[in-house]
Structure 1
Amino acid sequence: MRTEVIKANTIDEAVEGILDELKYTRGKENVIYFDGWDGLGASAVVQAVAQQLASNEKKWQWGLQFEQVIHIDCSKWESTRAVQREIAEQLKLPNQVMQMFGKQDEEDDFNGITDQQSRAGIAEVAIEIQRSIQGSRFLLVLHNGSNE
């Protein structure tokens, strides 16, 4: 596994460094972790990268042809299910899949699982997410805004 340190003094330089790293890792599964400047500025950089890649014009400019860019802000963590729901919404999964969330929420309420953080992902939804991205080039951008 390759470890690369992106040296940057500004948000723009950091964004450029991450986009360059994405070009280098083309066709590979990879994880890029950006901590910012002792934690400062990381969210701004991650948001800027996601915005750049969401723009078709910018994607092609950087030579990064992702079929789907999914950007999830986890800074206010709710649950694995909430992240799963956001991914499903951004992938525009069919209504029958989206309805699984409401049904599982009702079941959890009935069973006394009221703490949002205790609500786990839904296996059937995970299968549908996998099915929808299978064989495509995609980028999942998560930023958590914490030390976790």
Structure 2
Amino acid sequence: MNPQTLDMFAGVVNDIANGPRVGSFQGLTADLLRRLSEKGLTLEQCADRRMLARSRSTLEGRCREFGIRFPDYTPSNMRKHVQFIPTGDYLELTGPEVDAVAGILGIVTMTRDCVPFCSIPAHGFDDAKVALRAAGYEAKKGMAPKKPKAAANG
């Protein structure tokens, strides 16, 4: 690989590593390719195509080989998952992550029956999901609790 290509690659990867946290490996790859193309580098100019392979281990290995810090990202399956339960016009979260999530979202933790919980308006879930993803959480909407069935006449 020629030194100019390696310098471009190292510069782009270091820019990404020193920037905001990348949410997914696909996002990392897309950002890497976009920034390389902005610098004028095409895939044909790369002497070693493995440098841009869509394999995390390959890309991380190439960075390690050339002493480049690999950008931080957390795959979805390794993030902490939190589930909000619909209650009327609000979504409630209970469990061990309540205090951390409330701190990230800037909301107050309340207590009901000695159990801490926090709630957000249902229309604000999309913004909360983005904020939590940036903090390393994966947020989902759960199902509302089922109401008991009426006893059958019989």
What is the TM-score with the length of structure 2 in the denominator? 0.30
Normalised to the residue count of structure 1, the TM-score between the two structures is 0.31
Question: Which protein has greater RCO, CA pairs closer than 8 Å, 6+ apart?
Answer: 1
Of Structure 1 and Structure 2, the greater helix share is in 1
Which has the higher Rg, Structure 1 or Structure 2? 2
The structure with more strand, counted as a fraction of residues: 2
